Amino acid sequence: MSRVLLPVALLVTSWLGGATVAWSAPPLPASFIADLEGLQARLEAGDLAAVMERSVAQAERLAGGNAADRWARALYLQLAAGAAARDGDLSLAADYLGQARRVSGIEPDHRDRWQHDEAGLRLAAGETRDGANLLAEWLEGHSGEARDHWRLARARAELEQWELAAEHVRHARGMTEQLDEGQRELAVTVLRRAGDEAEALALLGGGLATSRDPERWRVAAALAQRAGNTGQAASIWEAGWRAGVFTGADDLRRLVELHLAGGTPARAAEHLEAALAEGTLEDSEANRRLLAQAWERARDRERALAAWQRVAEQSGAGDDWARLGQLAHAWGRDQLAERALDRAGLRPEL
């Protein structure tokens, strides 16, 4: 925070050198210049308490004075802000900068810079709403840098102002050549909460290949599904499973569910069959029934009939025998249909 404030000596030297400004700053007496430069040197040396005490006293003494007094008052307040910031009191530093920029007659460039710095200090101090409003107001008149838009996007997100946050995420992305992980995470969260799930998915998907974070993959799959692309969600989960990001029975069952919902039931069946053979999933009636349903939806007749027959034999349930009989009848396997429907207690009409 110590670098957010421009050295007083530079401000004074720039003005004394006749820099072109929007208005003519009044000349400061040599005693003021010497005092300001001396305080700046003490600030750099770390004499914070003394600098703050002297600067505040001088600023109070000069309140209500002429144009030169007001200019000097603003510079003393900037020094006080610098001392407070270096001392870790960011809220107090922001207060001093706020007073400085509100001094009557201050040149617009200085007022704008102090508002920008005050916004940063208030955000860093946890005064999120005030800091965000100050920075947003400043950005109305300035293009700003990428970090300004990232900072405001984060602040708006903390305030749960998702649409406003998304606007600044888009500005920031356009000004950022390559996002770091923190920026990507913020952008995805903001875009999701703002309802732009397709854009969030595109952004998140770009970094999946190098990610080993299961939660990141889960979010990507969920975004795809909510965007109405369950097939893409299944593809994402499949890639995560193959990469070893997803493991275990729960993740496998989710993969199967996504393949079934996403129109790739054969892949669901293949995963189920392998899992049952390897013992990853319990060889239960429920899992066997799910396998049979998957092969049925995949229109793999031989495997579907074999799977349903195993389910029916394992469960002994009339409904399972009936389903086997119905499929066998529909697929021209009349003898199997007759036997199955008989076991179901139904009279086949062949």
pLDDT in the model for residue 347 = 61
What pLDDT, on a 0 to 100 scale, did the predictor assign at position 144? 95
Average pLDDT of the residues in 292-311: 97
Tokens 């195993």 belong to which residue?
310
| Mean pLDDT of all residues in 57-65 | 94
Please give the full DSSP string across 284-321, using - where no structure is assigned. -HHHHHHHHHHHHHTT-HHHHHHHHHHHHHHH--HHHH
Query: Percent of the chain having pLDDT more than 70?
Result: 92
Q: Contact at 8 Å (CB) between 225 and 217?
A: no
Taking only Cα atoms into account, the Rg of the chain, rounded to an integer number of angstroms, comes to 35
Kindly state the tokens that stand for 67: 């144009």
**Distances, alpha carbon 260 to alpha carbons 8, 69, 273, 303, in Å:** 68, 77, 14, 16
Q: 36-48, pLDDT tens digit by residue? A: 999 999 999 999 9
Contacts of 263 (CB under 8 A, 6+ apart): 230, 231
Q: How far apart are CA 214 and CA 201, in angstroms?
A: 15
What token pair was written down for 48?
A: 């914070």
- The amino acid sitting at 291 is L
Supply φ then ψ for residue 248, to 5 degrees. 90, 170
Q: Is the pLDDT at 131 greater than 80, yes or no?
A: yes
Domain layout of the chain by residue ranges = 1-141+155-168
Q: Model pTM?
A: 0.70
Res 252 pLDDT > 90: yes
